[in-house]
Amino acid sequence: MGSIFRAFILVLLIAMPAGQARSAPEPGAFVEEFAGKAISLVSDKSLAAEERRQAFGDLVETYFDMPAIGRFLLGRYWRVASDAEQAAYLKAFTDNIVYTYARRFDDYRGQKLVVDSSREDGRFNVVSSRIVDPNSNQDYRLEWRVIDSNGAMKIVDIVIEGVSMSVTQRQEYASVIQSNGGKVQALIDALTRQMAGLKSSGG
């Protein structure tokens, strides 16, 4: 999603000291658990870039409701898309998210994620946290939108300094589809092209 955020996220992912994981299904703890695992993944220098990306992808699939996020990002175009387009889009979208986040892992500089509080917001829980950077006195505010659906907790959005990554991505995708006559295939092509570009430039 948004890259500014992406960077921060990585950071966060990176940020929690491992071992905070608790089994209690409390949203704050759930976020801490994800961040802890992500940080230990990023800090693990023994993994090759490809292995690390793979492991990060698995982690994201576990903690985020990726198919639902993908549907949400497409908005009203989801139902316009054919089954084949839906499947191709979900794959391109998920690959894209994982790839673009994972490429910033090397930027990790020991930042920590501190969970402050959690509040209910309709069907969701919103977990407030901060990224604390040891090299700067400026914290970043970060909120996680978490949903508990039939006993399975999942993260559905991250909001960095007031900017929601899901909303940002959603508006961007809508713009691509609109400027291509409402064709979802145009978005799939754009995502695929963009990934190929990043890979060839060594990003």
Partner 1 sequence: MRRVAIGTSLALFMLAGCASQGEQGDGAVYDPIEPANRLVFAMNDAVDTMVLQPTAYVYKEVIPAPIREVVRNFLDWLSSPLYIANSALQGDLEGLEHNASRFVANSPMFGLVDNATGLGLERRPEDFGQTLAVWGADDGPYLVLPLIGPSNLRDTTGLVADYFMDPINYIGGDEDARFRYQIARKVVGAVDFRAQNFAHINDLKATSVDYYARVRTIYKQRREALIRNNTPASASASGAESSGEFEEFQPTNAPIEQSGKRSSD
| Residues binding partner 1 (CB under 8 A) | 2-4, 6-7, 65, 67-68, 71-72, 75-76, 78-79, 100, 104, 107, 119, 121-124, 126, 128, 137, 141, 143, 145, 147, 149-150, 152, 154, 156-157, 161-164, 166-168, 170-176, 179, 187, 190-191, 194, 198, 201, 203
Q: Half-sphere exposure of 84 toward its Cβ, with a 13 Å CA cutoff?
A: 1
Structure token pair of residue 107? 């930027």
- We find the least distance from the C-beta atom of residue 7 to partner 1, in angstroms, to be 5
As measured in angstroms, the least distance from the Cβ of 52 to partner 1 is: 18
User: What is d(CA 148, CA 74) in angstroms, rounded to the nearest whole number?
Assistant: 22
Q: Under a CB-based contact definition with an 8 Å cutoff, are residues 145 and 156 in contact?
A: yes
Instruction: Pick between residue 40 and residue 128 the one whose CB is nearest to partner 1.
Output: 128
Which one, 35 or 127, has the nearer CB to partner 1? 127
Q: How far is CA 128 from the centre of its chain?
A: 16
In angstroms, give the least distance from the CB of 194 to partner 1: 5
Non-local (6+) Cβ contacts of 124 within 8 A are 145, 146, 147, 156
Q: What is the DSSP letter of 47?
A: S
Q: Which lies closer to partner 1 via its Cβ, residue 2 or residue 57?
A: 2
Please, what is the minimum distance in Å from the beta carbon of residue 33 to partner 1? 19
Please check whether residue 38 is in contact with residue 59, taking contact to mean a CB–CB distance below 8 angstroms.
Answer: yes
Six-digit token string for 90: 């979900």
Kindly tell me which of 3 and 40 has the beta carbon lying closer to partner 1.
3
Closest CB to partner 1 among 40 and 194? 194
Beta strands in the chain (DSSP E): 112-121, 124-132, 140-149, 152-160, 163-164
Least distance (Å) from partner 1 to the CB of residue 102?
11
Give the residue among 5, 27, 29 at the shortest CA–CA distance from 16.
29
Pick 36 or 160: Cβ nearer partner 1: 160
What minimum distance in Å lies between the beta carbon of 161 and partner 1?
A: 6
